[in-house]
Amino acid sequence: MLLAVVEAGSLSAGARRLNAPLATVSRKVGDLERHLGVRLLLRTSRGLALTEEGRAFVAASRRILDALDAAERQASGDHGALRGGLHVTAPIAFGESYLLPIALDFLKEHPAIDLRLSLVDRQISLADEHIDVALRIGHLADSALIATRVGTVRRVICASPAYLDRRGVPLRPDDLAGHDGISFQGFATAPEWRYRGDGVAFAVDPRPRLAVNTTEAAIQAALAGVGLIRLLSYQVADHLRAGDLREVLTEHAPASLPVNLLHAPSNPLPLKVRSFLDWTAPRLRARMER
């Protein structure tokens, strides 16, 4: 009952998921807290939040239930069938273009798996949001998470042909000071205006003509000729191929950013998580190489 409430986000939603009376679910969760002698859940205006003790207890409970599920399948001879919920997160554009097609094929192979794919342009806590696997773009901070590298993405600067015809093509990073720029805030690995010259990184900012907080808004502004834009290669790949945008300062671009699949350490790793990683990692590598 506790896990259903946590995964659903509220007592009432958990009760609906369990098809049980709300009063029963609330009482049982309260009984568990009294039995443990600690508070597991905090009621806030935004819903439920786990206490520190609650996060630890939920994580341990998941491991126990995963192990029990594996034991039951082994005892019954049902070794190959995967079932249960799987929560995965990725950046929006990357997730839609690269991860979603692979995940849909995974679901076809495992009809008893229910996948929740959260596509957001921000890093979210695996523990707080109950994420099984996260796809992250960028250099990873030191943490206990386990990473599997699947590729890299380039950072590019580009503008519409009309803008470049009107204002000229920047040939050196210093030229950016005389150009208009579109500033994008909100993506965890949004590239800064930074370039390499003779092996040394340096930054020059264009005039911040427009600031937006979504990738699509920034791209639309660049297509309209407002100014130069700096994004990740996959976000503008279609427009670059079509010629709607032109890349500049390519030879000065900084090193590519790593792309990793992350999961929390667990011994053993739940079979559904291991299977998803084994399915996804090689297919992602192949798609990104293309």
The alpha carbon of residue 206 and the mean position of all alpha carbons in its chain are separated, in whole angstroms, by 29
pLDDT of residue 121: 82
| pLDDT, tens digit, 9 for 90 and up, residues 95-110 | 999 999 999 999 999 9
This prediction has a pTM of 0.69
**The 113-119 sheet, strands edge to edge:** 113-119, 84-90, 133-137, 257-263, 146-153
CATH number of 155-255: 3.40.190.10
The pLDDT of residue 201 is 59
Q: In this model, does residue 260 exceed pLDDT 90? A: yes
Q: How far apart are CA 222 and CA 226, in angstroms?
A: 6
pLDDT per residue as tens digits for the range 177-205: 999 999 876 444 444 566 665 555 567 78
pLDDT digits (tens, 9 = 90+) for 46-68: 678 888 898 889 888 887 887 78
Of the candidate ranges 63-67, 117-121, 144-148, 157-161, the one whose mean pLDDT is the lowest: 63-67
Sorted by where each begins, the domain ranges of the chain are: 1-78, 80-150+258-290, 155-255
Name which residue leads in pLDDT, 213 or 203.
213
Same fold, 1-78 and 80-150+258-290: no
CATH architecture of 1-78: Orthogonal Bundle (1.10)
Q: Specify whether the CB–CB gap between 41 and 49 falls below 8 A.
A: yes
Percent above pLDDT 70 for the chain: 89
Q: In the predicted model, what is the mean pLDDT of residues 104-122?
A: 91
